[in-house]
Amino acid sequence: MNCNRFLRFLHDDLALSTDSIAIAQRYSEKNPSQIPMILWQYGLVTLEQLDRIFDWLESA
């Protein structure tokens, strides 16, 4: 996974704020693959957005 492309997708396509992304990154420092679940657990993305994230990750 290209981390920069993924972060750009979160910001540009899902319109997540820089702060929301930073929170997820902070809590997933040891395991970046946990970012989608952290975003969802903290209520920063909806289930629909979580689906889009997993679809994006699968196609990347």
CA–CA dist 15, 29 (Å, integer) = 22
- pLDDT for res 30: 86
Nearest 5°: phi and psi at 6? -65, -45
- pLDDT for res 52: 97
pLDDT exceeds cutoff 80 at 1? no
Q: Which pLDDT tens digit goes with each residue over 3-44?
A: 899 999 999 999 999 999 999 999 988 888 899 999 999 999
Dihedral angle of Cα 8, 48, 15, 7, to the nearest 10 degrees: -20
Identity of the residue numbered 11: H
Q: Are 60 and 1 within 8 A, CB to CB?
A: yes
- pLDDT for res 49: 97
CA–CA dist 9, 30 (Å, integer) = 21
Cut 0.85: pTM above it: yes
- pLDDT for res 29: 87
State what percent of residues in the chain have pLDDT above 90: 83
